[in-house]
């Protein structure tokens, strides 16, 4: 039985969920540059798999509206957003001081369409949060999002705008508590920092810790002030496998859900924690990675699924395709369908890839110590914090018109760059990315939003310090995307580690 909205009864995980999926057909055209491991093309490859597996027909598919400058400034500093808007490859040599100030130029290069790219992936994440807030769906997906390293005033780790923070701020309009879970191999430092003093957002990050980017995420980092014990860090070593990962993930997240009782969950599904990732050192299988998605789904809480890292792009596409199936409650065939990127997946042409025989440096004793330590921290949270909404800012409104056209033939995009296999019993063009109608919101009075949401006011003016955030309403504008054409899809680039 297909039940919509957020009113799902608790029960078996096989219950169908209503899923909203955000995808911009041009996202794969953005190009970080020759040799850079971050390739937005992986999002297009993922979408191609979803189309040829027939999964798009089971979801509401939306083209996200790009986030406006003022929306990005709900978290990011005005001068930083202005810089991202104005910088181009042609002008960057004239702004060397600004490049250094905002940490742009090396790991985070300037490329054509940079600001449009930021607007697009942020718009998808915020759009997903809006759908959840309005009970349009039970699960929202934006594989282009999940860029968890971006800070209030600087880029970091291939991330320019922190779409996750913006999405969480949107969810906080409707939910007293939001849980953020991060299974990327890198620590979710930007999100943790943004909510470090808040008891309304709990952040839980499972990551490689040691001599590894970004170098943060010690188990002793637990939050500060009102946010004490609301940050959980799970430091892991090389070679962790499915069994060891779940030995920590399931009891810790199970306890978090019991104690914190979130109204919504954001799960960052970075695929660089998979075995064989170009920049990673974990040994998770795709099914092991997806088991975390399945576990979060089983709680029947509004769920936002985001992308993140992942640099062996054929495996990223495999993983996020499979996890879309998990969200839908659909088991997809291991044999890949013929499609335009089929040659990427040779020689076996299967969805799943066997983990390697690398050594697991995470001993059972170490895992037990980590688990006991974190469960002890959670025991210090006596009950879920209550937040009094005295003057809650207005919700972001959705128009009443249905985004999906009635005529099925009109839901197919004639401008798509994909040719669907004629052997499959679906039309010869992928499902149309229905453009989400413009959302409207009202500005809340200054100071009201912070008070209503229980954040610590760490500054006296509108610009808060990096460990506190502004939670006024957000809105999205009409899309105007100008991008660079992909110049290399399959180049064997040199290793480009995060530094």
| Bind-site residues for substrate | 107, 157, 311
Residue list for the binding site for a divalent metal cation: 184, 186, 272
Distances (CA, A) of 146 to 121, 225, 237, 311, 463: 9, 27, 22, 14, 24
Residue 4 CB neighbours (<10 A): 13
Pure H helices in 69-217: 69-72, 78-86, 96-101, 114-133, 163-171, 189-194
Instruction: Please report the sign of the dihedral spanned by the C-alpha atoms of residue 66, residue 69, residue 70, residue 73.
Output: positive
Residues in the chain: 499
CA distance 183 to 179: 13
Distances (CA, A) of 253 to 185, 217, 259, 487: 17, 17, 10, 42
- For 146, the token pair is 């999940």
CA distance 425 to 300: 32
What secondary structure, in 3-state letters, does 164-204 show? HHHHHHHHCCCCCCEEEEECCCCCCHHHHHHCCCCCCEEEE
**CA gyration radius, the chain:** 21
Residue list for the binding site: 107, 157, 184, 186, 272, 311
Residue with token string 């975390």: 292
Question: Which element (helix H / strand E) includes 314?
Answer: helix 313-328
Catalytic option among 149, 175, 187, 207:
149
How large is the greatest C-alpha to C-alpha distance in the chain, in angstroms? Answer: 63
**Strands 60-63 vs 178-182: parallel, antiparallel or unpaired:** unpaired
184 contact partners, CB below 8 Å, separation of at least 6: 146, 148, 205, 207, 268, 269, 270, 272, 273, 308, 309
Instruction: Please report the sign of the dihedral spanned by the C-alpha atoms of residue 323, residue 439, residue 162, residue 430.
Output: positive
Q: Is 41 noted as a catalytic residue in this protein?
A: no
What 8-state DSSP symbol labels residue 303? E
347 contact partners, CB below 8 Å, separation of at least 6: none
Among all residues, which ones are annotated catalytic? 149
């Amino acid at each position: 039985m297909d039940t919509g909205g957020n009113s799902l009864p608790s029960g078996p995980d096989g219950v169908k969920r209503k899923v909203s999926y955000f995808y911009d057909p041009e996202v794969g055209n953005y190009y970080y540059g020759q040799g850079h491991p971050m390739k937005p093309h992986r999002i297009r490859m993922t979408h191609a798999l979803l189309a040829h597996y027939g999964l798009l027909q089971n979801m509401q598919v939306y083209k996200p509206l790009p986030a406006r400058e003022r929306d990005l400034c709900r978290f990011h500093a005005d001068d930083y957003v202005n810089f991202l808007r104005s910088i181009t490859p042609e002008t960057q040599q004239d702004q060397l001081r600004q490049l250094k100030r905002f940490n742009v130029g090396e790991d985070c290069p300037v490329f054509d369409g940079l600001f449009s790219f930021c607007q697009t992936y942020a718009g998808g994440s915020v759009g997903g949060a809006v759908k959840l807030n309005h009970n349009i769906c039970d699960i929202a997906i934006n594989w282009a999002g999940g860029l968890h390293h971006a800070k209030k005033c600087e880029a970091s780790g291939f991330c320019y705008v922190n779409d996750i923070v913006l999405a969480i701020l949107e969810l906080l309009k409707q939910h007293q508590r939001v849980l953020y879970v991060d299974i990327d191999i890198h620590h979710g430092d930007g999100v943790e920092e943004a909510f470090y003093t808040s008891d309304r957002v709990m952040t839980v990050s499972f990551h490689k810790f040691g001599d590894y980017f970004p170098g943060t995420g010690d188990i002793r980092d637990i939050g500060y002030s009102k946010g004490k014990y609301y940050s959980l860090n799970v430091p892991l070593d090389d070679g962790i496998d499915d069994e060891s990962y779940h030995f920590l993930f399931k009891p810790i997240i199970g306890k978090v859900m019991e104690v914190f009782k979130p109204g919504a969950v954001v799960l960052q599904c970075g695929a660089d924690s998979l075995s064989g990732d170009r920049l990673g050192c974990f040994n998770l299988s795709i099914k092991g990675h997806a088991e975390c998605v399945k576990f979060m789904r089983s709680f029947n809480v509004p769920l936002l699924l985001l992308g993140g890292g992942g640099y062996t792009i054929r495996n990223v596409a495999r993983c996020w395709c499979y996890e879309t199936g998990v969200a839908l409650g659909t088991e997809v065939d291991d044999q890949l369908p013929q499609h335009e990127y089929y040659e990427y997946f040779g020689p076996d042409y299967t969805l799943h890839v066997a983990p390697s025989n690398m050594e697991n440096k995470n001993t059972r004793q170490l895992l037990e110590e980590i688990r006991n330590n974190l469960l002890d921290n959670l025991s210090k949270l006596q009950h879920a914090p209550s937040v009094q909404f005295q003057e809650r800012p207005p919700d972001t409104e959705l128009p009443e018109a249905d985004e999906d056209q009635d005529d099925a033939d009109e839901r197919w995009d004639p401008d798509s760059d994909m040719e669907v296999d004629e052997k499959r019993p679906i039309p010869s063009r992928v499902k149309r990315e229905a453009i989400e109608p413009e959302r409207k919101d009202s500005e809340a009075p200054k100071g009201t939003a912070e008070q209503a949401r229980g954040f610590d006011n760490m500054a006296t003016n509108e610009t808060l310090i990096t460990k506190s955030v502004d939670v006024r309403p957000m809105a999205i504008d009409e899309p105007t995307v100008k991008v660079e054409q992909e110049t290399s899809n399959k180049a064997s680039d040199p290793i480009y580690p995060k530094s």
